[in-house]
Amino acid sequence: MAILFVLMLVALVAVIFVILERRERRRVAAGETRLSALRLVLGAAAALLMLFAGGCSLLFLMNQDGEYVTVGSVAIVGLQGLAVGALVWWLAMRRKPG
């Protein structure tokens, strides 16, 4: 069962990578610079991290009971993953001027 979960995660990263790769091909066709494959993989992993951190945070918020699961506790746990994912995404996808 764990192998299936890992394979699904790898497949999701591969799908996001393919989407980003198509975007880069369009940029090259337009005469703009291209990002390296490593940066695309890191961007895909960051997108997956943001997807799961944000999705799980929303699920927890929908089921809050007020005693243990509150907005503050979900923000402490969930926003860290979103912030790290957004930082890695920004670093991987930014382009240097010139």
22-77 tens-digit pLDDT: 998 998 999 888 888 898 889 988 998 998 888 888 888 888 777 788 888 888 88
* pLDDT, tens digit, 9 for 90 and up, residues 43-52: 988 998 998 8
Asked whether 10 and 48 are in contact (CB, 8 A), the reply is no
Band of pLDDT at residue 97, cut at 50, 70 and 90: low
The answer to whether the CB of 72 falls within 8 A of the CB of 43 is no
Q: At 38, phi and psi to the nearest 5? A: -65, -40
Q: What does pTM read for this prediction?
A: 0.75
CB-based contact 27:34 (threshold 8 Å): yes
Tell me, what's the pLDDT at 46? 92
